[in-house]
Structure formats: C-alpha cells, structure tokens
Chains A and B, each alone.
Chain A
Amino acid sequence: MTDVKEGASGPGPEARHQTVPDDEMFPVASFDDPHLQPAAKHVRRAEGVAGLFLVIGFLGFAAYGASYWQNWSNVLQGAFLGVGLFAFGFGMSAWGKYLLPQGPFVEERHPNASTEAEVDAMAAAVVGRGAMMFRRRGFLGGILGAGAGVMGVVMAFPLLRSLGPVPKQSFDHTHWKKGSRVVDFNGKLVRADDILTGGSLTVFPEGYVGNAMDQTIIVRPTTSNVVTKAGRETWAPRGNLAFSKVCTHAGCPVGLYQEQTQQLLCPCHQSLFDVGQGRPAVPVFGPAPRPLPQLPLYIDAGGYLRAQGDYHEPVGPGFWERS
C-alpha cells in the first residue's frame, strides 16, 4: 500500500465525505491486473479441492455431534472433530492460497528513527519537566523516595512471609526420637523378624505414617547384626538396617532395593548407594553427593523395633544452612 497515513493529515473534516479520493493515494485496478489473478494454475481444480475439504469438514462436524450424542469413545470423537476441523481449515487456507490474489503487493516501511532535534527535544522535555517537579522541593522528593522504599519492604511481608513458616531448625530434625516405635505403611508395629532376609520395608515413626521427611527404608541383607561403620556397632540389630528414604540428591524416595548387589537405587536420577557390611549407604554412582543417613535401631523387650534417637544429620538434599 502506498502511504495511507499521509491521507490523515490531508483532507479536512469537510473533505471527509468527498466521494472520489485521490487516485494516487487509493489506486484503482481492474480484474485484468495480473496481481489480482489467483495463484492456481488450474482454477477449477483448486475450487474443487477447496470445496471437497470444506465438505469433509462439514461432515466431520456432523459426525462429532453424533459421537457426542451417543457418547462414543474418545478415539472416535477425536477422529471426527479432528479431521473435520483440519479439513475445514485446509479448505479455507486453500481458498486463500490458490483462489485469492497473491500480488505481489508492496507496502513501504516507515523509518522508526526521528530527527536528532526531535530526540533532543524529547530528552529535554523528560528531564526538564521532571526537574520542575522536584525543584526546591527536596523534602517532598526525599519523603516520596523513603515512603516508596518502606512500602516496597512492608508489602513483601504479606506477599512472601505469610506464605509459609520460616525454616528455623526444621530441616535439621525429623520426628524420630529416642524410643520411637517403628511402624509400617498401615501403622502396624514392626517386629525385628517381620522383614524376610533380602527384603525391604518402608517405615515411619509411630504417629507419622506417610510423612515425607521421616520416611525410612529398612533393608535386611542378613539376620545377624550389621556394622556399616565404626561407632555404629549396635545400629542394625539382627540385620535390620535403616536408612533415610529421602535421596540426598533431589529428595526422591530411594525406592529400589537390589538384593543381589545390596544396593539402593533412586529411580529419579539413578543415584546408587551401597548398603551392607562396612557400607553406610555410600553413593557409588550418579549425582547424589552424600550417603543416606542411617537411623540407629534397637529391639525392645517385646521384640519390636525402636529408634535409638533421631538421625545424626539432616536428611534429604543439601541446603545452605546445612553444616
């Protein structure tokens, strides 16, 4: 299009109703103009194709209506309306592409940049009028800035602080305490011999079944006491080895116990931990940086498993305050 916008400044209000605009501004063309010819080489064929697809679209819509009414399967519903919409659109696009004038038509671009003087005038206006606001009103300016600053800080309280508790020491501890009884997923107390040799069981401290941070996995490679590390002689009575089930990498449950190799695998990012004699869940493969913390257990007078205390270090992935 030649410059239409210039027309805006041209005719005044009385000229608005003038019936014949300037031919230079609004060029006239006849259908003989080659720019107005359809792009298709075989116009009749293009009309046929566009029509055929529009008809398929029409039928597809109708078929979807029927499939919805009869509550047919999602497969039929998807096929009918999907094909219908696509064909309808294809017909419309084919109409536009092959039967409507493609030109080529041309439109001039208008340079974005203004003159140097216009830019300078704008800058002068911005700075000058701003200065006018604050000239000899330094106190008002100061209080405006201070008020905005305080407002920014206090508005962050409801926007942020209300959302959740501050962490304090909550990441350092779990609900495991000295004497906590060990229960399984159903809240049933776990006895020392409930887990078969080579088996594993997800357990919780009594009262916290399903808790994300307390979840612990007991593996039992053998029925005799297991020492994973010096100082942990009493921690795995009768082979009941308890480790935090929260991966030290990204916190997924370390859910796979491979009995043959005595390893725990985290299915999220494939961190692999050695468990068993002399191996306190040390990561041997993958991105996990630290061993899974071990929970010290003991067997009470009734033969049930209990915790000797909380984990000796924070469970789960790393964080800034972790020492």
Chain B
Amino acid sequence: MSNGTTDSPVLERPAPTQGQKAAAGGIRWLDERLGIAKGGGRAMLDKIFPDHWSFLLGEIALYSFVVLLATGVFLSLYFNPSAADVVYPKNGPYVPLRGVHMSAAYLSSLDISFGVRSGLVIRQMHHWAADVFIGAIAVHMVRIFFTGAFRKPRELNWLVGVTLLILAIVNGFLGYSLPDDLISGTGLRIAYSIILSIPLVGTYLANFVFGGQFPGDGSIIPRFFILHVLIIPALLAVLIGAHLGLLVRQKHTQFPGKGRTEHNVVGSPMYPTFIAKTTGFLFMVTGALWAMGGLAQINPIWQFGPYEPTKISYAVQPDWYMGWTDGALRIMPSWEFSGFGHTIPFEIFLPGVLFPGLAFGLFWAWPFLEAKLTGDRAEHNLLDRPRDKPRRTAVGAAFLAFFFVLLCASSTDVLATFFDVSLGLVLWTFRFAVIIVPIVVGVVTHRICLDMSGVRDVGKRKRHVVITRSVAGEYQTHPTEERPGDTHHELDPAPVPAYIDMGGDGDGDGDGEPGVRRVSR
C-alpha cells in the first residue's frame, strides 16, 4: 500500500470464493481471446473518475443523445417523409383540420401525436431531448472553456466537441423542419434565402439542396429525413465515440486538491462506484426528459396548420439554439451591396453565413489562439479556476453576453408587444446592446476576477460564531464548538485495491456483524 495514512497490515490474498471461481471462467474465455485481464479491460475497471458537479454536464449531453436515438427510432416507425398531397380524414381526431390538404409528412406527424399510443409523449420527448442535448453541449463547452480544459493535450477533443455542437445544431434544425407545419416551413424558406445569399454559388446551391426554386420539387423532406435519421446521427455517433475515446486515452482533467498533481487522477473507480452513479444519472436524465415530454407541451404542430408558402404566422421564434442567428437576422441593417451587375445581400449573408462561420471558426481556433497569445504550450491536466485567468474569463463572458443579446433579439416582436413600446425602439436598443453589453460584461468580469484573486480564503468553509452581549453592552464573537464536518479531513489518495479482504466482520469493531465503520472525512 502506498497509502501513508492507514495502518492496514499487508494482507495475504484470500482464497477465491465460489463467485470468483465462476466469474473467472467467463473472464478467462475472453482473456484468452482479447487479453482483457491484463490490458484494457482491467484498466477500465480501475479507471479513476474525478468528482465534480460540472463533469456531469457532458453526461447530460451523452444521455440526451441516447434518448434521442431511442425516441427517434420509435418516431421513424410512424413518420412518413413525403411531400405528397393528402387530405386530413373527415373523421380524423383533430376536428379543425378535417378535410384540409396537407403533406403526408404533416399528416403522419399528426397521427403520431393523436393516433399512436404514447406517441405524443415520445414526440415531445424527442423535441425536448434535442433542446436539452444542444443546451448541455453548450453548457459543457462553457465549462471546458472557463476551466481551460481545452489546453494541451486536449485540443483535439475540443475540435471534436465544437464539431459535435455544429452537427447537433444542424440536425436539430433538420428535425424541426420535418413535420412540415407552417412554422417549420417558414424556417425552411429563411434557410433557402440564406443559402441563396452566398455570392457566386448561392442560386446553384439553393436549387441543389431543395431540388429547384423554393419550395422545390418536394424532395426536401425525404432529403432532410435521411440526413436527420442516418447521416448526421452516424457522424454524431462516430464523433461521440472519438470524444470518449480521447477522454479515456488522455484521462479526465481534475481541479487542484489534496494529492492531485499534473501527473495523476484522483477520484472514484469506474467499477462499481462510477458505474452505479452514472447509470443512475442516465435514468434521471431519461426520467426528466420523459416527464417533460408528457407534461410540458412543445411544438404543437396541429395548431400551426400545414405549410403553405403564402401563409405566415406572427410572433414565431425558432428553437433556442437557432435563436442567435434569427436575432442577428433581425437586427442587421439593410446593407445590400449592388453593382457591377451583381448583388451581395449582406443583410442576410453576414448574419446568416459569415457570422456563424466566423463564430465556429473562432471556437475551433481558440486553443491554438490562446496558446499563441499566452505562449503557454505546456501540458495541463489540472483545471483553472476561472477567476485565476481574468482575460480568458472576460473574453468568454463577453462572448456569452453577445450570444445572449442576440438570442433575446430573436423576440423583438414579442418584447415590443409585452412592454407596449414601438418595434423601432426595441430594434435600436438591441443594435446598441449587442455591441455595448459584451464590452461592459467583459470589463466587469475582468475586474471581478482581479478583485477575487486579491481576497484570501474566498470560498473556504466558515465556522459559525456566537455573538454575545456583555453586561456593559459590548458585543463579542466566539467561534462555536467544532463539530464533525466543520473541518475537512481528506485522505491521501491510494491505488485501487485489486483484492478486498472479506475476512472478519468488515467493520473492525469485532462484534462479528458485518457493518461499516464511519470515517471522518
């Protein structure tokens, strides 16, 4: 034992139990073929996962993806990806649409909602899971950014992660378009115009994607369907595999703490502790999403009606992850370049193509950019506290503020109605806010970081005090009596034991009863 704090005697390996003998048979069979007992399999059992609540964010994303795959398979059994013109039956369950012309895709989406048992729950769960998936990726990415987990040697995994975010957003938009309701069709119309705005190749690309001039020849739904259910999920699955593979290969980062260095990982082992916790978490995420699918209405397509290129609804916002591009489209001034026989519609090309391209390009480049700016090319396995890196934290906070302002700007019409002010005032407020707010947030964040690093013992656990008043009227403070848990006793980390002594009663109190000894930690 390399553990200095315990006085356990060196123990003999006990004789194998019945259970061990039985398990050894199966393990030997695999080992003779794959060498698991000494190689990767054994290492996986003992793999150490450091513990921190923020490490759960990526797990939420992973488990939302699992839910998306499962619910998506269910939906694909009933969804009909066809633009064929059909009529809602005269005896259909949703009365207002009886006799209305619609696409087969929209009809089958209605059938999933009203005709298939648990179909509405699972359709809404799928939609919620997509929103949570992308949200969890974004928050996970924010955590990685602010703690510097993207630094060497993890730049590759950062690149994979940013790519996953992009693919997730794209697949979210594709899926949102499939039911072919009025709102999703309007989204497609805008997407068509965004593709159209690309200089030189825009008209060609837009025609190729949609199979002709908008709305195309009806092939957009089957095309988006195969992208949504096969191609992009396959890419996501492969990249998630690579993401986790790199995590296993490079091992998890950890916050600084007792016994933790750049050269080790301290935490609890994969088997059984982490497995139990994370499997439970899979169930919790699934449960939360299922409950949302049943209890919280999302995208009630039957209220919107089928898509007609000449119809439009009011006060419509996209899913949250598209909101920032919609906000950018709304507050962009109408700067169209026209000349030399050509037009560059900057009012849509800039917010719709250039800006997202630059934003994701910057995300991809950030680890290399930061290494260049700071000159820090060392390997880092210990995480930063955000306040210790004021400049990075300020840049990140400013970026978040920028995206948040754009997201809010996608509801200019709703805000104008809600506050009963003119649209013009709201629009101009956002045009200024999108520049001013990030600068203010960045400067203030920088200042707060600097101030926090100047204060000692921030975040330390405080002992309670009792304030007494003397007869003379003087107040005095006395620290309370120390109670268990007031002070933090930490063990020195020890290697995971391979054999656990099952002899004795286990709790060391000699009463012959198996039990557990309490340890002050």
Which residues between 482 and 521 of chain B lie within 8 Å of chain A, taking CB atoms?
484-485, 490-504, 506-508, 516-519, 521
Given known A33-B6, A105-B268, A287-B348, contact A97–B277 (CB-CB < 8 A): yes
Residue interface bits A78-93, CB-to-B below 8 A is 1, else 0: 1101111111111111
**B38 within 8 A of partner (CB):** yes
Task: Report the Cα distance A89→B279, complex, angstroms.
Answer: 7
CB of B189 within 8 A of CB of A30, answer no
Return chain A residues, CB-CB under 8 Å to B265.
106-107, 109
Known A-B contacts A30-B500, A37-B516, A105-B48; the reply to A319 vs B192 at CB < 8 A is no
**Closest chain A residue to B502 by CB distance?**
A31
Which one of A23, A89, A252 contacts B281 once the chains associate, using CB atoms below 8 Å?
A89
Is residue B96 within 8 Å, beta carbon to beta carbon, of the partner chain? no
Interface set, chain A 266-282, CB cutoff 8 A to B:
266-272
Measured between beta carbons, the chain A residues less than 8 angstroms from B423 are 270, 272, 285
A76 to B279, CA, bound (A): 25
Known: A77-B294, A287-B348. A107 touches B311 (CB 8 A): no
0/1 interface trace, chain B 90-103, chain A, CB 8 Å (1 if under):
00000000000000
- Nearest CB to that of A284 among chain B residues? B424
Residues of B within 8 A of A97 (CB): 277
- Least CB distance from B9 to A in Å reads 8
Among listed B201-209, B369-377, B451-459, interface-contacting one: B201-209
Once the chains bind, are B496 and A105 in contact (CB under 8 Å)?
yes
Interface size on B, residues (CB 8 A): 145
CB A111 to nearest CB in B, in angstroms, measures 8
Task: State which of B12, B203, B289 has its C-beta within 8 Å of the C-beta of A319.
Answer: B203
B residues within 8 A CB of A103?
Answer: 48, 266-269, 491, 493-494, 496
A-B residue pair count with CB separations less than 8 angstroms: 411
Given contacts A89-B280, A212-B214, A289-B336, contact A267 B316 (CB under 8 A): yes
**Is B132 engaged at the interface, CB distance under 8 Å to the other chain?**
no
CB distance from A54 to the nearest CB of B (A): 10
Q: Hey, which chain B residues are within 8 Å of A109, CB to CB?
A: 251, 262-265, 381
A211 to B308, CA, bound (A): 9
Bound form: Cα–Cα A1–B104 in Å: 58
- Which of B153, B289, B334 meets A288, CB within 8 Å? B334
Indicate if A213 sits at the interface (CB-CB under 8 A): yes
A164 adjacent to B216 (CB under 8 Å): yes
Return chain B residues, CB-CB under 8 Å to A74: 118, 120-121, 124, 293-294
Which residues of A sit under 8 angstroms from B213, Cβ to Cβ?
167, 170-171, 212-213
With contacts A41-B485, A321-B203 taken as known, whether A29 is within 8 angstroms of B284 at the C-beta atoms is: no
> In the bound complex, how far is the Cα of B290 from the Cα of A257, in angstroms?
42
Q: Which residues of A contact B276 (CB under 8 A)?
A: 92-93, 95-96, 100
A240 at the interface (CB under 8 A from B): no
**A215 proximal to B (CB < 8 A):** yes
A288 vs B348: C-alpha distance when bound (angstroms):
9
Pick from B159-167, B338-346, B472-480 the stretch touching chain A.
B338-346
**A12-36 vs B: 1/0 string, CB under 8 Å?**
0000000011010011111111111
Which of B251, B267, B281, B499 contacts A105, CB < 8 Å?
A: B267
> In whole angstroms, how far apart are the Cα atoms of A164 and B213 in the complex?
9
A234 touches B (CB below 8 Å): no
In the complex, are the beta carbons of A79 and B294 less than 8 A apart?
A: yes
Instruction: Indicate if the CB atoms of A96 and B186 lie closer than 8 Å.
Output: no
B38 neighbours in A (Cβ, 8 Å): 4, 7-8
**Given A78-B295, A105-B48, A164-B209: A29 in contact with B312 (beta carbons within 8 A):** no
Answer whether residue B210 sits at the interface, using C-beta atoms and an 8 A cutoff: yes
Quick one: which of A33-86 are within 8 Å of B by CB? Answer: 33-39, 41, 43, 57, 68, 71, 74-79, 81-86
* Residues from 329 to 373 in B contacting A, C-beta threshold 8 Å: 329-336, 338, 341-345, 347-348
Q: Give residues of chain B (1-30) contacting chain A, Cβ–Cβ below 8 Å.
A: 1-3, 5-6, 8, 10-13
- How many Å from the CB of A13 to the closest CB on chain B? 10
Q: For residue A41, which residue of chain B has the nearest CB?
A: B518
Complex CA gap A40/B264 in Å reads 26
Give the residue name and chain of the A residue nearest to B343 (CB). A322
Whole-angstrom CA separation of A43 from B515 in the bound complex: 9
Question: What residues of chain B lie closer than 8 Å to A106, measured between beta carbons?
Answer: 48, 259, 264-266, 493-495
Q: Are A283 and B312 in contact (CB under 8 A)?
A: no
B55 near A: Cβ within 8 Å? no
Given A106-B48, A210-B310: A33 touches B427 (CB 8 Å cut-off) = no
Q: Which stretch of A129-137, A222-230, A243-251, A300-308 is in the interface?
A: A243-251
Known: A105-B496, A163-B209, A321-B203. A94 touches B280 (CB 8 A): yes
A250 to B312 Cα, complex, angstroms: 13
Instruction: Select one of B203, B259, B347, B413 contacting A171, CB under 8 A.
Output: B203
Question: B: which residues have CB within 8 A of A?
Answer: 1-3, 5-6, 8, 10-13, 35, 38-39, 42-43, 46-48, 51, 117-118, 120-121, 124, 153, 186, 189-190, 192-194, 196-204, 206-217, 250-251, 259, 262-269, 272-295, 308-316, 326, 329-336, 338, 341-345, 347-348, 379, 381, 412-413, 423-424, 427, 484-485, 490-504, 506-508, 516-519, 521
21 pairs, CB–CB < 8 Å, chain A vs chain B = A4-B38, A26-B498, A27-B495, A27-B496, A27-B498, A29-B11, A33-B494, A33-B497, A35-B3, A74-B294, A75-B294, A77-B118, A89-B284, A93-B280, A101-B268, A109-B264, A166-B207, A171-B203, A318-B196, A318-B343, A318-B344
Which A positions have Cβ atoms within 8 angstroms of B? 1-2, 4-5, 7-8, 20-21, 23, 26-39, 41, 43, 57, 68, 71, 74-79, 81-97, 100-109, 112, 160-161, 163-167, 170-171, 185, 202, 210-213, 215, 245, 249-253, 255-256, 266-272, 283, 285-290, 316-323
9 closest cross-chain pairs (CB), A and B: A78-B294, A82-B291, A89-B283, A96-B276, A85-B287, A93-B280, A318-B345, A86-B287, A92-B280
Sample of 5 more A-B contacts, CB < 8 Å, known A4-B46, A81-B291, A101-B273: A71-B117, A105-B493, A164-B208, A215-B310, A251-B190
